[in-house]
Amino acid sequence: MEKAATERAEDYLEVIYDLISKKGYARIVEIAERLNVRPPTVTEMVKKLSEKGLLVHERYRGFTLTEEGERIAKAVQRRHETIANFLMILGVDKEIAEQDACRIEHNLHPMTLERFTKFVEFVQNAPQDPEWLEHFEHYVKTGEHKCKVIKENTEQ
């Protein structure tokens, strides 16, 4: 698949997987809503995905992802969560972080993704709220480095 087609496929698998995990099923109309496309576009795409062996569409059961389809969907979901968490650590609002995660999630170099993952882990597993993160927030709000002030205080 060419690059744009791969991205599109990943978006579909991600949404279908999410709908199935949350509701137990995915319907064309809901997929269309989530991806901001028209239902006929969804119908066309799911046909392609089913031809590639990534999902199965049965009249009464609706959609199920194949093992390979689910593997891809889970990988995209993991990338999405990592990126969204990273952006939220930086102070980006959840809604924007989620939107941007979907834009970025397809195109990251594995090394960048690995560092994002480590960084998110590092912050989330910190025994206390990292002080430097507060410093960063202070810097965002005021444009000033807080650590200078602290240094001066300890010198007194």
Residues 12-51 vs Mn ion: string with x where CB under 5 A?
----------------------------------------
Kindly tell me which of 96 and 149 has the beta carbon lying closer to Mn ion: 96
Candidate residues 46, 102, 104, 120; the one interacting with Mn ion per rule CB under 5 A: 102
Candidate residues 80, 86, 87, 106; the one interacting with Mn ion per rule CB under 5 A: 80
Kindly tell me which of 18 and 138 has the beta carbon lying closer to Mn ion: 18
The DSSP-derived string for the chain is --HHHHHHHHHHHHHHHHHHHHHS---HHHHHHHHTS-HHHHHHHHHHHHHTTSEEEETTTEEEE-HHHHHHHHHHHHHHHHHHHHHHHTT--HHHHHHHHHHHTTS--HHHHHHHHHHHHHHHT-SS--HHHHHHHHHHHHSS-HHHHHHHHHH-
Residues of this chain that interact with Mn ion (CB under 5 A) are 80, 102
